[in-house]
Amino acid sequence: MSGDGSKGSSEDGGWRERGGATLDRLVDASAAERVAISLGSLVFALVVGAVLVFVSGFVAECSSPFIYLPGLGYGCYNPLEMYWTILDGAFGSFTDLGQTLLQTTLLLFTGLSVAVAFRAGLFNIGTQGQMVLGALATAMTVLTVGEFVPDTLLGSLVVIPVGIVVGGFVGGVWGMIPGLMKAYANAHEVITTIMLNFVAAGVAYWLVQVHIGDLASDSVQTEPIPGVARLPASIDGSRFSLIALVGALAIAIGIALLYSRTVIGYDLRTSGIQEAAAEYGGVDARRNVVTSMTLSGVLGGIAGAIYVTMVQYRWQAGIPPLGFDGIAVSILAGNNPIGVIPAALLFGTLKTGSVAVDISLGIPNELVEVLRGLIILFIAMPEFFRLLGKHYGFGSEPVATDGGERR
């Protein structure tokens, strides 16, 4: 018994040592190594997704199967054709490219909103609610201001920035609420932001349906915004605007510089990750928690403003869950503002390409959603364990010395 017990104990110790060594290696991984891990995980996810789609084809019904295997029967889904259709549906024409870039732009804003909170050690699940209210505020603002400006380029230069600023302001105020509750009442931001999503959707729906909406319409929506308040389309057949994409890229770079090159960014990171250490260093941790959540809300509100001025041209109930998609984008990017750019492009490609897959191949959209989930899972897991290891002190550098960031 003692021999078996010693052997079991030795094996347990070996597993713990190997697990600890793995966490040390993950925490100390360089930026290039993390990129390589993400790319490898992406390839693995695509392979697993291909196998899943291939197997699913044997239980589906179709008029023209592409393969027959003895013992299994006819297979309906060709994984290589599916991946090609996704790429062709996302980039096969200028219109498709415009739709992909449109989705990418919106996901950039929502992904950055979530990433800003994550970088400060906070979980903002409420980007969707901040986006909904920001979109409504923008729609009502441009409808009002649009009546007093000329229908010219000069008018657009006035009404569009005003609408975006108001949308960002309202989103920021909505994001500040859970920040205040976190900082001064110790209310967990995950719970409060989730609940505020429902509050935001309910308030916006009630306001539009009863007071400020287009009462002549059967739908719950505002009147269409004037042409002077619409971002100019850059590609025919799509409402994508290059101005919005360039603005999103500039904000991503600005946030990266804010968090990596400024004292303010250092304070924001340390306040959310190690409040006690921040307070010891003379930083007002509570104030910075509120600031981080407010900044996150501002970006969510701007996402809503862009949605109104570039996509929908009005506020309408049933805004797509881009705020929740932003959570996946941020996780995929490792909460890095620059990493959000390729992550948003990947998700924009999948969102646009999945439509072509459903129409051209008859593969259920749910399977494409599963593929997207696999990509998130495979790429997020190494980052999850890296953050877990960093939290419990693995790696060669102490966390507090650089505000929770390792180079």
Can you give the pLDDT at residue 213?
Answer: 86
Residue type at 275 in one-letter notation? E
Q: What is the DSSP letter of 344?
A: H
Distance CA 377, CA 46 (A): 12
Residue with more model confidence, 113 or 79? 113
> So what's the pLDDT on residue 367?
80
Distance CA 28, CA 150 (A): 57
Percent of the chain residues topping a pLDDT of 70: 92
pLDDT in tens, 123-161: 889 999 999 999 999 999 999 999 999 989 999 999 999
What pLDDT shows up at residue 345? Answer: 94
Asked whether 263 and 403 are in contact (CB, 8 A), the reply is no
Burial class (CB in 10 A: 0-12, 13-18, 19+), 250: exposed
Query: Residues 263-268: contacts with CB within 8 Å, 24+ apart?
Result: 266/403, 268/119, 268/120, 268/292
pLDDT in tens, 299-332: 999 999 999 999 999 999 989 999 988 988 888 8
**Taking phi first (over 0 means left), then psi (-120 to 50 degrees means alpha), and beta for anything else, what does residue 272 get?**
alpha
DSSP structure class, residue 73: E
Closest to 193 in 3D by CA, of 131, 266, 120, 259: 131
- The per-residue pLDDT for 386 is 73
Measured in degrees and rounded to the nearest 5, phi and psi for residue 354 equal -65, -30
pLDDT: which is higher, 33 or 130: 130
Decide if 404 contacts 281 (C-beta within 8 A). Answer: no
**What's phi and psi for 8, nearest 5 deg?**
-60, -45
Are the C-beta atoms of 142 and 229 separated by less than 8 Å? yes
* Beta strand 67-69 pairing with 73-75: antiparallel
Query: pTM, whole model, 2 decimals?
Result: 0.85
pLDDT tens-digit map of 177-234: 999 999 899 888 889 999 999 999 999 999 999 988 888 888 899 999 999 999 999 9
Task: Check if the beta carbon of residue 93 is closer than 8 Å to that of residue 235.
Answer: no
Q: What's the mean pLDDT in 381-389?
A: 73
The structure tokens listed for 38 are 């993400």
Confidence of residue 260 (pLDDT cuts 50, 70, 90): confident
Place of tokens 């550098």: 397
Residue range 174-184, pLDDT digits in tens: 999 999 999 89
**pLDDT tens sequence across 329-383:** 888 887 889 989 998 998 899 888 888 887 777 787 778 778 878 877 887 777 7
> What pLDDT, on the 0 to 100 scale, is given for residue 403?
46
Which H helix or E strand runs over 69? strand 67-69
Rounded CA Rg of the chain: 24
Q: Which two tokens stand for residue 169?
A: 């302001």
Give the integer Cα–Cα distance in Å for 277 and 280: 5
Residues 268, 270, 276, 280: is their CA dihedral positive or negative?
negative
Q: What is the mean pLDDT of the chain?
A: 85
Nearest-CA neighbor of 322 among 166, 114, 137, 170?
114
Nearest to 360 by CA among 64, 75, 73: 64
- Cβ atoms of 90 and 352 within 8 Å: the answer is yes
